[in-house]
């Protein structure tokens, strides 16, 4: 069975509840619900729901909130054997607010989070060597932003070793400017990830923040990877893959957009799951658009289990060759 390693950070999530806005005087505060979230964790959950064997690689504390995270991931079918537990540490925290159109704004408190130490632990070598046992390693630019330069270099070296044995590297350009010292550092790291990746999932939102004013063709030319999914501001993806290019348009929405959180994360999960099942890039992008269009009709990153689309049978492919 094909397997995926998702690397990243899960944080405590505070979401503004309906009717919980602060008063005009700023007194009394708002009402917030507590959950957990993180871009690569969201993708891992959706992969598990799509019946892909997936492990989440991260570091957590030894606190009750970290215990709750482990229990929640296990309940979703996400493997936790690669999670390092650090005594005395805590997970990061973020607050999310959405406007009337469902667009979100994030506020983070994560500077001392346990996940930031993942590349500098006694067990780091063992964890990185385990990447060779997976069919796909998936991470995002947010993942890379939480490590220092030495940590990123250590991770890239491990990914390159794994690729020699057939592991595929999928890089998602989920870009958050506040996570980087400056855009020059981000551009340098992105270039290294592009050069190492087998599949890049990106968007105009991410790339124009780094390369303002460039055309779609110019942005795509920056990415040498053989398989590229470039999501536009409208619900359209431009694909480049060995043997061709294609444009995939999402089906028109029939329900109102409630919350765009995890649209890209769920797209990534459906795309990867379809490619592992033997679908071609066009079919995989169609699957990505379908799931993302469903996810944005619900509040929060993870939709209720009952709302997941019915499972479809894909043609079978050998695990190591499925995404090639």
CATH homologous superfamily, domain 3-15+32-321 = Ribokinase (3.40.1190.20)
Would you name the residues annotated as active-site residues?
265
Q: Mean pLDDT over residues 68-72, rounded?
A: 96
Tens-digit pLDDT profile for residues 175-208: 999 899 999 999 999 999 999 999 999 999 999 9
- Containing 162, the helix (H) or strand (E) segment is helix 149-164
DSSP letter (8 states) at residue 119: G
The pLDDT, as a whole number, for residue 28 is: 41
Contact 138/271 with Cβ under 8 angstroms?
no
More confident of the two residues 20 and 38: 38
Tens-digit pLDDT profile for residues 138-173: 999 999 999 999 999 999 999 999 999 999 999 999
Contact 89/61 with Cβ under 8 angstroms?
yes
CA torsion 206-263-10-4 (nearest 10°) is -90
The pLDDT, as a whole number, for residue 317 is: 47
What are the residue ranges spanned by the domains of the chain?
Answer: 3-15+32-321
d(CA 117, CA 115): 5
Tens-digit pLDDT profile for residues 280-303: 999 999 999 999 999 999 987 899
Per DSSP, the three-state class of 220 is helix
Task: Give the pLDDT band of residue 23 (cuts 50, 70, 90).
Answer: very low
**What average pLDDT is seen over the chain?**
90
More confident of the two residues 94 and 115: 115
Closest CA to 274 of 248, 313, 232: 313
- Containing 156, the helix (H) or strand (E) segment is helix 149-164
The pLDDT, as a whole number, for residue 27 is: 40
């Amino acid at each position: 069975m094909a397997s995926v390693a998702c690397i990243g950070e899960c944080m405590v999530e505070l979401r503004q509840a309906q009717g919980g806005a602060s008063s005009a005087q700023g007194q009394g505060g708002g009402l917030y619900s507590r959950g957990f979230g993180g871009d690569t964790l969201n993708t891992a959950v959706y992969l598990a729901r799509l019946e892909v064997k997936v492990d989440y690689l991260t570091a957590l504390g030894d606190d009750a909130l970290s215990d709750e995270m482990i229990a929640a991931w296990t309940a979703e079918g996400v493997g936790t054997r690669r999670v390092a537990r650090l005594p005395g540490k805590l997970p990061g925290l973020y607050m999310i607010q959405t406007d009337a159109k469902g667009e979100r704004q994030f506020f983070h408190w994560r500077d001392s989070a346990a996940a930031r130490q993942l590349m500098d632990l006694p067990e780091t070598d063992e964890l990185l060597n385990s990447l060779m046992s997976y069919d796909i390693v998936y991470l995002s630019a947010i993942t890379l932003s939480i490590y220092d330069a030495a940590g990123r270099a250590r991770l890239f070296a491990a990914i390159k070793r794994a690729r020699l044995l057939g592991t595929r590297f999928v890089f998602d350009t989920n870009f958050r400017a506040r996570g980087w010292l400056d855009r020059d550092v981000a551009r340098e790291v992105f270039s290294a990830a592009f050069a190492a990746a087998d599949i890049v999932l990106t968007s105009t939102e991410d790339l124009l923040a780094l390369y303002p004013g460039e055309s779609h063709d110019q942005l795509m030319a920056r990415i040498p990877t053989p398989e590229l999914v470039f999501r536009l501001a409208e619900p359209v993806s431009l694909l480049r893959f060995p043997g061709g290019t294609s444009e995939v348009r999402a089906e028109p929405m029939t329900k109102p957009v409630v919350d765009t959180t995890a649209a890209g994360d769920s797209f990534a999960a459906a795309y990867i799951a379809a490619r592992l099942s033997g679908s071609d890039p066009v079919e995989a992008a169609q699957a990505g658009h379908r799931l993302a269009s469903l996810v944005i009709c619900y509040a929060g990153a993870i939709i209720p289990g009952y709302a997941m689309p019915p499972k479809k049978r894909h043609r079978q492919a050998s695990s190591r060759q499925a995404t090639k």
